[in-house]
Amino acid sequence: MTFLMEYRHNVDLEELCPVCGDKVSGYHYGLLTCESCKGFFKRTVQNNKKYICAEKQECRVDKAQRKRCPFCRFQKCLHVGMRLEAVRADRMRGGRNKFGPMYKRDRALKQQRKALIHASAFRKESSPLLVSSTHQRDYTFSGGFQPDTIPQSAVLPTAQNDIISHQHPSLLPSNSPGATLYQYPSFSNWTVKSEHPNNCAISSGSAAGIYSDNLFSSPPQGSRMPRLVMEFLRCDPDEIQLQSKTTARLKQEHSGSNKHRNPSTFSIMCLMADQTLFFIVEWARTSIFFKQLKVSIWFNPHKNNHILIGRIMYKQSQHILDSHMYSLVQVELSDISSLAGPTLASLIQRGKDLVEKLSVLKVDRQEFACIKFLILFNPDVKELEDQGFIESMQEQVEGTLLEYILSTSSQHFGRFAHLLLCRSELRTLSSLAEDYLYFRHLSAEVPCNNLLIEMLCAKRS
DNA sequence: GTAGCCTTGACG
DNA sequence: CGTCAAGGCTAC
């Protein structure tokens, strides 16, 4: 407790600009950036500037060299997620735009994550629910997953700073790429203020008791796998069935009225996504919690979409891991990149980065099952009923994930933090993908009778 | 052209 | 009425 009192400064503003590593001055055009990159992005978009790279379009962009190659700087701005739409065509000053809620959500998420990580990292005595005494461990930083083992691009830009700033400075290898790029904020002056005080500590929330039905009790003595994880696995969708249904539907579409023309890659992707979505809705509906959920939750377009993207990512990472072919359902993202426009290409690149990260982390089925439920129980989506239930579920699942990691990984703390970051990147990516899909839908480019689109439209209407 | 500081104005 | 993310201004 006294430890937490030592954290003072505004957490967000201690982050570093994902484009150049300079000090962040606030949210600009979609994410936290520095003042200069904000200005640069604005000038470029407002004046419709076209730059040319004198090198190989891979110039390093940092505080010292950001002026050297505006082409690469702008590319990086787009890659990290700065939004063209946030630059106003009418140049109107002041006010707020549609990104306001997104900034708020992002802020809440960061606070929640930090509070959670602190709570789990420094909690001397854990609740019986969180970690059973059989595998209680030292919670101090073990070095865990070093930043230099992850490709720079594999980490969510805002999260990147997060990872780094959560490492004790002495644990950072001074010769790591990250260390030479950025200066890290000192670890010992943060403030921990969460908009979700319930999530600050992972313990058995009082609300949980109302709903839980003893479901979340500690695993039986001697058992390594938390009981909840086993439950998660039990309700995992049947992969083989999903694949055969998707293949069948692809064949059916192809042999139907569209026989004469070749389906585009994009339409195949939409169809596959659509089919997967049916499964996800079914998964959410039949999951162990369904009897306690209101319909609005399991049929929530936003969450299901997050899980859909996550599923594809997870599959891809599995694919990289063991080079196992998943029949027709597998899509080679690299093949699509070459055909895609800049927005989709950037999305795909970020997706590939996340896949890379998932595969480096070797995320297993159990962990991914937890991540799926964490997304389903996202307390930051406020339109849902049963907010208290959702928050307590989120706590429970986070606790379960941590417990599982503690029992399986020697780099438990780093791993836990990284998995939460993957979840956040997944949410970000999914929102971007959603915007993109909606945009293409408005241009009448998305196939009809698409559940995904119907959900998106319902959400936005 | 860059970047730090200033002004504006919707939103809570 | 304060906040803060837009655009604007201007010295460098």
Burial class (CB within 10 angstroms; exposed 0-12, middle 13-18, buried 19+) of A242: buried
Handedness of CA A49, A50, A55, A59 (dihedral sign): positive
Distance A132 CA to B6 C1' (A): 56
Residues A376 and A284 sit within 8 Å (Cβ to Cβ):
yes
Instruction: Please state whether strand C lies within 7 Å of residue A88 at its CB atom.
Output: yes
Q: Helix/strand/coil (H, E, C) string of chain A?
A: CHHHHCCCECCHHHCECCCCCCECCEEECCEEECHHHHHHHHHHHHCCCCCCCCCCCCCCCCCCCCCCCHHHHHHHHHHHCCCHHHCCCCCCCCCCCCCHHHHHHHHHHHHHHHHHHHHHHHCCCCCCCCCCHHHCCCCCCCCCCCHHHCCHHHCCHHHHHHHHHHCCHHHCCCCCHHHHHCCCCCCCCECCCCCCHHHCCCCCCHHHHHHHCCCCCCCCCCCCCCHHHHHHHHCCCCHHHHHHHHHHHHHHHHHCCCCCCCCCHHHHHHHHHHHHHHHHHHHHHHCCCHHHCCHHHHCCHHHHHHHHHHHHHHHHHHHHHHCCCCHHHCCCHHHHHHHCCHHHHHHHHHHHHHHHHHHHHCCCHHHHHHHHHHHHCCCCCCCCCCHHHHHHHHHHHHHHHHHHHHHHCCCHHHHHHHHHHHHHHHHHHHHHHHHHHHHHHHCCCCCCCCHHHHHHHHHHC
Instruction: Please state whether strand B lies within 7 Å of residue A93 at its CB atom.
Output: yes
Distance A351 CA to C4 C1' (A): 31
A296 confidence band (pLDDT: 50, 70, 90):
very low
- Note the pLDDT of residue A31: 92
The nucleotide lying nearest A107 (C-alpha to C1') is C4
- Note the pLDDT of residue A119: 52
Q: Which nucleotides of C are covered by protein (CB under 7 A)?
A: 4-9
Mean pLDDT of chain A: 63
pLDDT at A295 over 90: no
pLDDT at A21 over 60: yes
Distance A213 CA to B12 C1' (A): 38
A411 vs A216 pLDDT, higher one = A411
Distance A95 CA to C4 C1' (A): 9
pTM above 0.85, yes or no: no
- Note the pLDDT of residue A70: 97
What is the average pLDDT across A87-115?
Answer: 83
Instruction: Please state whether strand B lies within 7 Å of residue A66 at its CB atom.
Output: yes
* Cα–Cα distance, A334 to A331 (Å, whole number): 9
A269 confidence band (pLDDT: 50, 70, 90):
low
A50 vs A165 pLDDT, higher one = A50
- Note the pLDDT of residue A412: 67
The radius of gyration computed from the CA coordinates of chain A, to the nearest angstrom, equals: 22
Which region holds residue A413: left if phi is over 0, alpha if psi is between -120 and 50, else beta?
alpha
- Note the pLDDT of residue A253: 63
pLDDT at A39 over 90: yes
Distance A443 CA to B7 C1' (A): 37
Annotated binding-site members of A for a phospholipid derivative: 341-344, 436
What is the average pLDDT across A432-459?
Answer: 67
Instruction: Please state whether strand C lies within 7 Å of residue A42 at its CB atom.
Output: yes
pLDDT at A406 over 70: yes
What would the pLDDT profile of A170-216 be if each residue is shown by its tens digit?
Answer: 222 233 333 322 222 222 222 222 233 333 322 222 222 222 333 33
Distance A98 CA to B3 C1' (A): 26
- Note the pLDDT of residue A238: 65
What would the pLDDT profile of A27-37 be if each residue is shown by its tens digit?
Answer: 999 999 999 99
Annotated binding-site members of A: 341-344, 436
pLDDT at A228 over 80: no
Of A154, A184, A192, the C-alpha closest to A168 is A184
What is the average pLDDT across A85-104?
Answer: 91
pLDDT at A217 over 50: no
A23 confidence band (pLDDT: 50, 70, 90):
very high
- Note the pLDDT of residue A24: 94
Instruction: Please state whether strand B lies within 7 Å of residue A71 at its CB atom.
Output: no
Instruction: Please state whether strand C lies within 7 Å of residue A101 at its CB atom.
Output: no
Distance A19 CA to B11 C1' (A): 29
* Cα–Cα distance, A376 to A170 (Å, whole number): 37
Instruction: Please state whether strand C lies within 7 Å of residue A46 at its CB atom.
Output: yes
Of A35, A54, A38, A58, the C-alpha closest to A153 is A58
* Cα–Cα distance, A297 to A196 (Å, whole number): 19
Instruction: Please state whether strand C lies within 7 Å of residue A99 at its CB atom.
Output: yes
- Note the pLDDT of residue A401: 84
pLDDT at A7 over 90: no
- Note the pLDDT of residue A354: 83
The nucleotide lying nearest A63 (C-alpha to C1') is B3
Most confident of the ranges A72-76, A130-134, A286-290, A358-362: A72-76
What is the average pLDDT across A38-54?
Answer: 96
A122 confidence band (pLDDT: 50, 70, 90):
very low
Instruction: Please state whether strand B lies within 7 Å of residue A36 at its CB atom.
Output: yes
The nucleotide lying nearest A30 (C-alpha to C1') is C5
Handedness of CA A353, A356, A360, A363 (dihedral sign): positive
Distance A34 CA to C11 C1' (A): 20
Instruction: Please state whether strand C lies within 7 Å of residue A105 at its CB atom.
Output: no
Closest residue (CA to C1') to nucleotide B5 in the complex: A35
Distance A11 CA to B9 C1' (A): 27
What is the average pLDDT across A347-355?
Answer: 80
A300 confidence band (pLDDT: 50, 70, 90):
low
What would the pLDDT profile of A317-340 be if each residue is shown by its tens digit?
Answer: 555 444 333 333 344 444 555 555
pLDDT at A393 over 80: no
- Please name each of the domains of chain A with its CATH number: 12-88 (3.30.50.10), 227-253+264-459 (1.10.565.10)
What would the pLDDT profile of A234-256 be if each residue is shown by its tens digit?
Answer: 766 666 676 777 777 666 666 65
Instruction: Please state whether strand B lies within 7 Å of residue A95 at its CB atom.
Output: yes
- Note the pLDDT of residue A147: 27
- Note the pLDDT of residue A179: 30
Residues A68 and A81 sit within 8 Å (Cβ to Cβ):
no
pLDDT at A432 over 60: yes
Residues A26 and A32 sit within 8 Å (Cβ to Cβ):
yes
pLDDT at A351 over 60: yes
Instruction: Please state whether strand B lies within 7 Å of residue A40 at its CB atom.
Output: yes
Q: Which nucleotides of B are covered by protein (CB under 7 A)?
A: 1-5, 7-12
A397 confidence band (pLDDT: 50, 70, 90):
confident
Instruction: Please state whether strand C lies within 7 Å of residue A65 at its CB atom.
Output: no
Distance A82 CA to B6 C1' (A): 23
Distance A95 CA to B9 C1' (A): 4
pLDDT at A423 over 70: yes
* Cα–Cα distance, A31 to A241 (Å, whole number): 40
